[in-house]
Amino acid sequence: MTFARPDHSIDLDMLPRMPAWVTSARAETLEDVAFLSGAALNHLHLVLGRAEVPQALLRDRLALRAAEACVAFSGRLERAGDLRDAVHLLRSGDLPGPAGETCLAWRRAVERPLSIKALGRALPTLEPGQTATWLDAGQGAPVTRAAMVLEVVLREAPRADVAALILADAALAQALGWDHLVPLLAAGLKRADLRKRGGDLRFACHRALISSAVEAVRKAADLARQAAHLKAVAPKLRAKGAGDAVEMFLTRDAVAPSALPLPDRAARRLCDRLVELGAVRELTGRDTFRLYGV
């Protein structure tokens, strides 16, 4: 794989920024919060359409954030670093544990274009017919539709927080015309919000989407800059298979050297070189069993 030289005519600071009035306004009524969430989602929609944004990497990083929120909802203590370990250091035949399963569910939900089959990979315990029924439970505008799906799933399966939130985000993505699920609701909701119903739940979902859309736009801008730098330094990498390795970093939240398409020693040297060039970061702070990401 070869990489074109970076186009210096592209100014990544020109990615549209979320208007200040969206982030600073206080919404006291359902009408106000609905207006602000609509504005935030519209802005995110524009950012997601920009070629500079590494879409798969953004979705994977948002999936980690959603998984962390869901694990916290269940009362567990694992955080992002623990979830990365549970997924990326998993050996053949090992079980990821409850927190790892949650992280895998979200990662699988965002990997492929949105469909019942793709959701089935993320939620294998659900029958396709049940998934389709729940996904179609919402009606109306996008956020209302998502809130209705969330409410129906949690009413019929009170312990299925992860499935409910994944399906609610899927309903939102469908309503907005997005090809892939973008994890937004889980990170913005509070645990108590999952017990709300009707207008109270819609209000909570609108509020959650404002904060999550703002954060997603910020992450998109950061990742666009970092991805551009990684592509710029890629021609300096001499290792065979370096191009495929760079592509992995551009699509995944975290990568273990052992997952790269290089011999072990060469993979570790490549990771060290990318850290030296400021193109990736070491994410664990450990001397062994390290993980790297943009």
Say how far residue 195 (Cα) sits from the centre of its chain.
24
Query: What mean pLDDT comes out for the span 76-90?
Result: 95
For residue 12, the model assigns a pLDDT of 54
Average pLDDT over all residues of the chain: 93
pTM: 0.93
Tens of pLDDT, residues 174-199? 999 999 999 999 999 999 999 999 99
What does the DSSP 8-state code read for residue 282? Answer: E
**Positive or negative torsion for Cα 197, 139, 166, 50:** negative
pLDDT of residue 232: 96
Task: Check if the beta carbon of residue 84 is closer than 8 Å to that of residue 96.
Answer: no
Q: Write the CA distances from 142 to 13, 126, 163, 171, 243, integer angstroms.
A: 29, 24, 18, 8, 39
How far apart, in whole angstroms, are the C-alpha atoms of residue 88 and residue 104?
A: 10
For 93-124, the pLDDT digits (tens) are 888 999 999 999 999 999 999 999 999 999 99
Do 97 and 86 form a contact (C-beta atoms < 8 A)? yes
Share of the chain above pLDDT 90, in %: 88
CA nearest to 98, candidates 110, 87, 88: 87
Average pLDDT over residues 126-134: 97
Q: Which two tokens stand for residue 44?
A: 């995110």
pLDDT in tens, 226-247: 999 999 999 999 888 899 999 9
Q: What are phi and psi of 52, to 5 degrees?
A: -70, -20
For the chain, percent of residues with pLDDT exceeding 70: 95
- 87-94 long-range CB contacts below 8 Å, 24 or more apart? 88/254, 88/255, 88/256, 88/259, 88/291, 89/256, 89/289, 89/291
| CA 149-220-59 angle, 5° bins | 45
Catalogue the E-assigned strands of the chain: 281-282, 292-293
- DSSP string over 218-256: HHHHHHHHHHHHHHHHGGG--STTHHHHHHHHTT-S-B-
pLDDT of residue 1: 40
Backbone conformation region of residue 290, classed left if phi is above 0, alpha if psi is from -120 to 50, else beta = beta
The Cα 106–Cα 66 span in angstroms is 7
Backbone angles phi, psi at 50, to 5 degrees: -85, 130
Distance CA 278, CA 110 (A): 27
Encode pLDDT of 1-19 as tens digits.
434 444 443 455 668 889 8
User: What residue type is assigned to position 189 of the chain?
Assistant: L
